[in-house]
Amino acid sequence: MSLSINDLSLKAAVSASEWQTRVDLAAFYRIVARNGWDDLLLAHISARLPDEDAYLINPFGLLFEEITASSLLKVDYEGKKLLPSEYDISPEANVIHGTILLGRSDINCVAHVHTIAGTAVSSQQNGLLNITQQTMIIGDRLGYHDYQGIIFDPTEGPSLQASLGDNLFLILRNHGLLTVGSSVVQTYFGLYNLQRACETQVAAQSSGEIIPVPEAAIERSTPLLAMINNNPPGAIPPLLDLLWKAELRRMRRNDPDFEA
């Protein structure tokens, strides 16, 4: 069966779980665009498909604001398209997303962006400073990956996996941000907090001396705030469920064609 990216019969041709993953991932792309976290045709977000050796990712050639549930590419872990599309996968996307999804069965979504604040912090010697509640949500689940050039070479995959380890957040030095999660929702919330933490740090650094968070407050608050990251694969905590339902309502009011 040949399906174009604009063929609305795709919804009927795929499983209900795949379609729901497509809708959630398309919404994630549109939210990133709305927040100004996109970077022309660069960066990418992926989502593993349930019960398949495949994942969804953006077509290289569409802006984030143009992505719909039907237009997302379906590829295997080598980046080969499993449904017809006039577009291909970004050259570096499968090195990052295929590698991480194949190596971490506990995660189902990966987001990689090159925001101004995120790239600025990734270029600072001390990286992310623990100075806000957002950084305490991130807690000790943050890793760093040294810059080795544009990630085209598959041989960088193992070192990328090693840098991520069992973390949920990764700062790619001189490059940008990466978050992973057991669901699209958790990954979105993780990206929001990592990006907000970077924005706050850059703003604080430009306005004068930073007031450190008291150590006692860090010790007391970090375990509570970081609990939101500790849930089984695919599970969505009640707070994130409320958050995502609210985001989808806003998308359906203001940008409804994401579900096409």
Q: Is residue 260 part of a domain?
A: no
Whether the CB-CB separation of 198 and 121 falls below 8 Å is answered with yes
**Can you read off the two tokens belonging to residue 83?**
């449904």
- Scanning 123-237, the segments in alpha helix (DSSP H) are 133-138, 157-164, 184-207, 215-226
CB-based burial of residue 66 (10 Å sphere; 0-12 exposed, 13-18 middle, 19+ buried)?
middle
pLDDT tens for 102-156 read 999 999 999 999 999 999 999 999 999 999 989 988 988 999 999 988 877 777 8
Q: pLDDT at position 145, please?
A: 96
Q: pLDDT at position 1, please?
A: 32
Range of the domain at 30: 16-249
Give the mean pLDDT of 234-260. 88
pLDDT tens for 60-96 read 999 999 999 999 999 999 999 999 999 999 988 999 9
User: 224: pLDDT confidence band, cut at 50, 70 and 90?
Assistant: confident
Q: Rg of the chain over CA atoms, in angstroms?
A: 18
Q: Is residue 240 part of a domain?
A: yes
User: Among all chains, which residue has been given the structure tokens 């990206």?
Assistant: 191
Q: Output the 3-class SS for 42-97.
A: ECEEEEECCCCCCEEECCECCCHHHCCCCCCEEECCCCCECCCCCCECCCCHHHHH
Dihedral, CA of residue 11, residue 13, residue 17 and residue 20, to nearest 10 = -10
Which pTM was predicted?
0.91
Domains contained in the chain, number: 1
Give the mean pLDDT of 18-40. 97
Q: Is residue 133 part of a domain?
A: yes
Show the CA angle centred on residue 98, arms to residues 35 and 120, nearest 5°.
40
CB under 8 Å to 93, separation ≥6 — which residues?
A: 44, 46, 57, 58, 60, 79
Q: Is residue 132 part of a domain?
A: yes
User: 231: pLDDT confidence band, cut at 50, 70 and 90?
Assistant: low
CATH of the domain at 56: 3.40.225.10
Look over the chain and give the mean of its residue pLDDT values, rounded to a whole number: 90
User: 235: pLDDT confidence band, cut at 50, 70 and 90?
Assistant: low
Whether the CB-CB separation of 126 and 205 falls below 8 Å is answered with no
Q: Is residue 7 part of a domain?
A: no
Q: Is residue 108 part of a domain?
A: yes
113: phi then psi, degrees, rounded to nearest 5: -135, 160
175 pLDDT higher than 70: yes
In the chain, the largest separation of any two C-alpha atoms, in whole Å, equals 62
Range with the poorest average pLDDT among 9-23, 26-40, 211-225: 211-225
pLDDT tens for 41-67 read 999 999 999 889 999 999 999 999 999
Q: Is residue 259 part of a domain?
A: no
Whether the CB-CB separation of 150 and 211 falls below 8 Å is answered with no
239 pLDDT higher than 90: no
Q: Is residue 10 part of a domain?
A: no
Give the mean pLDDT of 233-255. 86
Give the mean pLDDT of 237-241. 82
User: 5: pLDDT confidence band, cut at 50, 70 and 90?
Assistant: very low
234 pLDDT higher than 70: no
